[in-house]
Structure 1
Amino acid sequence: MEILKIAIEWAKAEVFSSKFFILFAILFIAGSVGFWHLGKTEIAKAYIIPTAVAGALLLVVGTGILYANNKRITSFETDYNTNTTAFIASEIKRTEKSMNEYKLIVFKVIPIIIVAAALLIVFIDKNNWRAICITTIAMMLVILLIDSNANERLKEYHRQLQIDVTQS
């Protein structure tokens, strides 16, 4: 029963984390509106669309994580009570898959995107492209910050699942 409590706590922490994606989405969208209303220079006007797109993407990610983990919270107890061993085995498999995805996407692909965008800023002298690159870097940093914390929570949850298996 302890592992069920740990699983639910992990999912609730993911729900909390998803709210940060939504918060940053709102900030990006507010920035876009600010650039639209107050932007007088060409570079300020160039940020309108990139920040709106970044905000929309972060909003989609945040609401997706929020929905998935709220659904998971309600299904954990049913799955656990139906077949505890199968529940733990499926969670171990799912967490291993997720940790591998984090390792590839969050810790390899996102830094490459950040470096590529930074290089484009240096070599391209167009306001729109610079705005796109700077907004991309900002969005990737938000994702990196939130997902690095989520990855550590996932590792701890995975460790707890493995401890439970060895104790059974």
Structure 2
Amino acid sequence: MDILKTATDWAKAELFSTPFFILFGIIFMAGSIGFWQLGKTDIAKAYIIPMLVAGALLLTIGVGLFFTNKSRITQFEMAYQKDASEFIASEVTRVEATLKEYSTIVFKTIPILIIVAALSVVFLNGATWRAISITTIAMLIVILLIDGTAYARIDAYHEKLKSAQVEKE
């Protein structure tokens, strides 16, 4: 099994996935501009800032992940050429840490935040608070969807790393 090709393919799949953060960030920002230009009611005007902030956050996440994963592709090859066994061991450690973070943040914290934001919509009456809550729910759902697929990819990559590690031993 060529683990370098597997690692590179995983990083390229991440490069395909991260622009979706950028796309949704642009959509949120465009929505903010739309509410700014066309919003006539208090609730419509209340969406301007929350959607701008959510868009900026998604854009930042997408750009950061894109450049991180792009640089990984060349780092993978150099690390593999230097010492294949060390490369596999370090990747297993990194991927296991990432999987733990996904378990905590994506699959526990984000759903809890969605529930809190949904309850805020019900219990808080101000237009600004409702706009913040609804925008937060939308942003967190986008993150959950994109990171859910990323989790599946990194989990499959982890399995291939573990089998490559066994083969090297």
Residue 9 in structure 1 maps to residue 26 in structure 2:
no
Identify the residue that residue 33 of structure 1 maps to in structure 2.
Answer: 33
Matches within 5 A, 1:6-155: 6-155=6-155
Measure how far apart 1:108 and its partner are.
0.3
CA distance in 1, matches of 2:2, 2:45: 54
Secondary structure of the corresponding residue to residue 40 of structure 1: coil
Aligned equivalents of 2:90, 2:9: Cα separation in 1: 17
SS of alignment partner, residue 125 of structure 1: coil
Which residue identity does 1:146 align to in structure 2?
I
CA displacement 1:65-85 (0-9 Å, x = unmatched): 001000101111011000101
RMSD in angstroms over aligned alpha carbons? Answer: 0.7
The AA in structure 2 aligned to 1:126 is G
The CA deviation string for residues 15-63 of structure 1, in whole angstroms up to 9 with x for no partner, is: 1111000000000000000000011111000000000000000011001
Deviation at 1:165, TM superposition (A): 1.1
The separation in 1 between residues aligned to 2:165 and 2:87, in whole angstroms, is: 11
Could you tell me how far apart the structure 1 residues matched to 2:16 and 2:45 are?
Answer: 33
Cα deviation code 1:87-126 (max 9, x no counterpart): 0000000000000000000000000000000001000100
Residue identity opposite 1:17 in structure 2: S
Amino acid at match of 1:43: I
Matched, 1:159 2:153: no
Following superposition, the deviation at residue 167 of structure 1 comes to 1.6
CA deviations 1:144-168 (Å, max 9, x no partner) are 0000100000000000001111122
Runs of 4+ off more than 6 Å: none
TM-score by length of 2: 0.98
* AA in 2 matched with 1:113: L
Q: How many residues of Structure 1 are paired with residues of Structure 2 in the alignment?
A: 168
Instruction: State the secondary structure of the residue aligned to 2:40.
Output: coil
